[in-house]
Chains A and B, each alone.
Chain A
């Protein structure tokens, strides 16, 4: 069993004329909790999708549990993906299914569990995320926070070995944010899963993960312990996490905006 859960080496990805990722190298050990931050549209979600094989890189290697995900067919990737649980940025809940249907989906597709067992696990999960009794609601009846929680339930119901959270607390009020992060912490403590979390809420993220990496203009320019992120010496990182208005980020964005205009 390999010690490394996720490994990216010199990964490049471009969309049309835009170079989104220019040489990403990242290793996440089993059971580690890593956060990923950076300015908007810097490619954080792209990295997550590449890891799951939902997109293919132009160059570089990506390995999950020692197996490459590059150039694999959808059918082969299916087995690997069953070991990964993902929370999408916009929840990506299935409109045609109820809350229970959504959460049960990964288990049903996996096969090997009876309907009763699945229902029990769904109920347990929903209770854990605080949505007990909402089994039959449809996605249209849910608030943003509730949808997020259903997404988390779906991502964790199969006790996946790797869990990826894309903006678990975006658009939520501070109290709900805290509840969500408490939930994530408890889940990870229970299963010992490897966690990769993308978030714009650095404060909350720092309480959850061990390390934080900073993605800026296609490269990972920083990686360090979460506890000391606010004292980072790199000026870009420093300005970002402290929310300061002046600094290299400001000028760089202006140049980029002009280039894209």
Chain B
């Protein structure tokens, strides 16, 4: 009897903890937006973000992830096309739809989402590790002692940089994936490039989805990762924990956002995508 009770208590505790964390996470997000607005309305230069930090963050997120994104998305493009062609060769043998359909899927989903997942891993871990080590060595407290709001100083630049860079990397990643798929189709299944590189199925709504998803992921990753970093406690263990939580949290956020946005799009367009 008592065993069942403590089990339930533990689940209840976990649920409460998750609920509290979710609320705190939402507050971080709201504070980040507030911080951006504050940044626009501030006249004097004090208590703001460091000069050039935005560019530095854009470089860190964008440039340094470039090869990673190109490699991972390239390979996955090849694999997806291979699997699709393989299955089609068993069923119909007609490859004419592969290119156009793949393009549609990449723009409306796989491009931004796969980029988002890869960035959740790389950028999420990076941001959490950086901010986490600062928290653990009391640098965050030192910032607060100088009257600086950690969210304004640390998270806002990363937020803006991530929005911009995720959009750009998603674009690049999508192109790479599509191109890699084209190469696979051509060399493994003899698909004519002219048949493959066909944008006829693409519609404005797909592009809207692309942008919405890329921006959503770009917003979610730094907020989740920054949140985990700011909560780090202890010493090296704490940093490790924060980084782990950031990677899972950001990845999961990308998947859930993808699901929600896709479902909403399906609902709004009455299944016509």
CB neighbours (8 Å) of B46 from chain A are: 108-112
Q: How far is the CA of A95 from the CA of B132 in the complex (A)?
A: 13
Interface segment among B139-147, B174-182, B218-226: the answer is B139-147
- The secondary structure that dominates the A interface is mixed
CB pair B141–A81 under 8 Å, yes or no, is: no
A74, closest chain B residue (CB): B149
A113, closest chain B residue (CB): B46
Q: Does B87 contact A (CB under 8 A)?
A: no
Return A49 CB to nearest CB of chain B, in Å. 7
A-B pairs with CB below 8 Å: how many? 62
Known: A78-B47, A108-B46, A112-B46. A92 touches B144 (CB 8 A): no
CB pair A94–B144 under 8 Å, yes or no, is: no
Q: Does B7 contact A (CB under 8 A)?
A: no
Return A55 CB to nearest CB of chain B, in Å. 9
Which residue in B45, B133, B146 is a CB contact (below 8 Å) of A105? B146
Which residue in B44, B142, B147, B148 is a CB contact (below 8 Å) of A88? B142
CB pair B141–A75 under 8 Å, yes or no, is: no
Chain A contacts with B in 38-65, Cβ cutoff 8 A: 49, 52, 54
CB pair A109–B147 under 8 Å, yes or no, is: yes
B151, closest chain A residue (CB): A74
Chain B contacts with A in 222-272, Cβ cutoff 8 A: none
Known: A78-B147, A81-B144. A90 touches B47 (CB 8 A): no
Q: Does A86 contact B (CB under 8 A)?
A: yes
B147, closest chain A residue (CB): A78
User: How many residues of A are in contact with the other chain, CB < 8 A?
Assistant: 27
CB pair A92–B137 under 8 Å, yes or no, is: yes
Known: A78-B47, A111-B44, A111-B45. A106 touches B137 (CB 8 A): no
Which residue in A92, A95, A109, A110 is a CB contact (below 8 Å) of B141? A92
Q: Give a binary string over A72-114; 1 marks a CB under 8 Å from any B CB, 0 the rest.
A: 0011011101101110111011110000000001101111100
Known: A108-B46, A109-B46, A111-B44. A90 touches B138 (CB 8 A): yes
Return B200 CB to nearest CB of chain A, in Å. 50
Interface centre among B141, B145, B149 (most CB of A within 10 A): B145
CB pair A94–B139 under 8 Å, yes or no, is: yes
Return A154 CB to nearest CB of chain B, in Å. 8
CB pair B138–A88 under 8 Å, yes or no, is: yes
Q: Which 10 residue pairs of A and B lie closest in terms of their CB atoms, listed nearest first?
A: A111-B46, A78-B147, A92-B138, A92-B142, A109-B146, A106-B146, A88-B138, A111-B44, A92-B139, A86-B145
Q: Please list the residues of chain A having a beta carbon within 8 angstroms of any beta carbon in chain B.
A: 49, 52, 54, 74-75, 77-79, 81-82, 84-86, 88-90, 92-95, 105-106, 108-112
16 A-B pairs (CB sep. < 8 Å): A54-B141, A74-B149, A78-B147, A81-B144, A81-B145, A82-B147, A84-B145, A88-B142, A89-B138, A92-B138, A93-B139, A95-B133, A95-B134, A109-B147, A110-B147, A111-B47
**Extra pairs beyond A52-B145, A78-B148, A84-B145 (9, CB < 8 Å):** A78-B47, A85-B145, A88-B141, A90-B137, A95-B133, A95-B139, A105-B146, A110-B147, A111-B46
